Structure 1
Amino acid sequence: MTTQDMRTETTGALDGLKVLDFTQMLAGPFCTQLLADQGAEIIKIEPMSGDTTRKVGPFHPDDKLRAFGGYFQSANRNKLSLVLDLKKAQAREIVLKLAEQADVVVENYRPGVMDRFGLSYEVLREKNPKLVYASIRGFGDPRTGDSPYIDWPAFDVVSQAMGGLMGITGPDANTPIKVGPGLGDLVPAVLAAYGIMSAVFRAQRSGRGQFMNVAMVDGVLALCERAVYQYSYQGKVPHPEGNQHPLLCPFGMFPARDGWITLACQSEDFWHQLCTLMEREDMLADPRFADNQSRVKHREAVCDAVSAYTIRYTKRELTERLGGHVPFGPVYDIADIHADPHFQGSGMLAEVEQPGMDRTLTIAGVPIRMTETPGKIRHRAPLLGEHTDTILLKAGYSEAEIARWRAAGALA
Structure 2
Amino acid sequence: MTVPAASGPLNGIKVLDLTSMLAGPFTTMLLADLGADVVKVEPPSGDRTRALGPLREGDDPEQALGGYFQSVNRGKRSVVLDLKSEAGAAEFRQLVRVADVVVENFSSGVMERLGLSYEELALVNPRLVYAALRGFGDARSGKSPYETWPAFDVVAQAMGGFAGITGPVGGPPSKAGPGIGDIFPGTLLALAVLAAVRHAERTGEGQFVDVAMYDAVLALCERIVYQHSYLGVVPRPMGNGHPLLAPFDIMQTLDGWIAVAAPSNNHWRILAEAMDRPDLVDDPRFIDNGSRVAHVGEVRRILGGWLAGQPTAAVVAALGGRVPIGPVNDAADIFSDEHVHLREMLVEVEQPGSDTPVTIAGSPIKFSATPSRVRGRGPKLGEDAVGPLLDEWAASGLPHDAAPRADGNDDAG
TM-score tier, shorter chain, comes to over 0.9
2:191 aligns with: 194
1:209 aligns with 2:206: yes
Evaluate the alpha carbon distance shift between residue 396 and residue 40 of structure 1 in structure 2; reply closer, same or farther with a 3 A threshold: closer
Counterpart-to-counterpart distance in 2, 1:58 and 1:378: 21
Identify the residue that residue 17 of structure 1 maps to in structure 2: 13
Q: Say whether the 8 Å CA contact 1:23–1:107 is kept in structure 2.
A: yes
Name the residue aligned to 2:389.
Answer: 391
Percent sequence identity is: 52
Deviation of 1:396 (Å): 7.2
1:268 aligns with 2:265: yes
Given that 1:250 and 1:302 are in contact with CA atoms closer than 8 Å, whether structure 2 keeps it comes out as yes
CA distance in 2, matches of 1:94, 1:301: 67
Contact 1:82-1:391 at 8 Å conserved across structures: no
Match of 2:91, SS?
helix
Quick one: which amino acid aligns to residue 171 of structure 1? P
Q: How does 1:76-87 map to 2 (within 5 A)?
A: 76-87=73-84
How far does residue 10 in structure 1 lie from its aligned partner after superposition? 4.1
Stretches of structure 2 that go unaligned for 5 or more consecutive residues are 396-413
* Structure 2 Cα separation of the partners of residues 15 and 141 of structure 1: 29
| Structure-to-structure mapping, 1:175-324, within 5 angstroms | 175-324=172-321
Q: Distance in 2 between matches of 1:168 and 1:392?
A: 49
- For the Cα contact (< 8 Å) 1:67–1:355, is it kept in 2? no
User: In the alignment, residue 50 of structure 1 is paired with which amino acid?
Assistant: G
Aligned pairs for 1:5-404 within 5 A: 6=3, 9-65=5-61, 66-389=63-386, 390-394=388-392
Tell me how far 1:339 sits from its aligned partner: 1.1
Q: How many Å separate the matches in 2 of 1:104 and 1:139?
A: 21
| Cα displacement string for residues 293-346 of structure 1 (whole angstroms, at most 9, x for unaligned residues) | 111110010111111111111111111011111000000000011111111211
SS at match of 1:246: coil
Cα displacement string for residues 141-196 of structure 1 (whole angstroms, at most 9, x for unaligned residues): 01001210001000000000000000000012331111100000000000000001
After superposition, the C-alpha distances for 1:102-161 in whole angstroms (9 at most, x for unaligned) are 111100001110111111000000111111100000001010012100010000000000
| Cα-to-partner distance string for 1:196-237 (whole Å, 9 max, x where unaligned) | 101111111111011010000110011000011000011110
Alignment gaps of 5+ in structure 1:
398-412
Q: Equivalent residue for 1:409?
A: none
**TM-score where L is the length of structure 1:** 0.93
Q: Deviations over 1:235-268 (max 9, x none)?
A: 1100001111111000011111111101110011
Q: Which amino acid aligns with 2:23?
A: A
Cα distance in 2, alignment partners of residues 146 and 280 from structure 1: 58
How far apart, CA to CA, are the structure 1 residues paired with 2:133 and 2:166? 24
Q: How many residues align?
A: 393
**C-alpha RMSD of matched pairs (Å):** 1.3
The CA deviation string for residues 39-93 of structure 1, in whole angstroms up to 9 with x for no partner, is 0000100011000000111101131422221000001001000100011111111
The 1:194/1:243 distance shift into structure 2, 3 A limit, reads: same
Q: Does structure 2 conserve the Cα–Cα contact (< 8 Å) formed by 1:78 and 1:380?
A: yes
Q: Which amino acid aligns with 2:168?
A: P
Distance 2:209 2:367 in 1: 27
CA shift, 1:395, in A, is 5.7
Once the two structures are TM-superposed, the CA of residue 393 in structure 1 deviates from its matched residue by: 4.9
TM-score scaled to structure 2, two decimals? Answer: 0.93
CA distance in 2, matches of 1:279, 1:172: 30
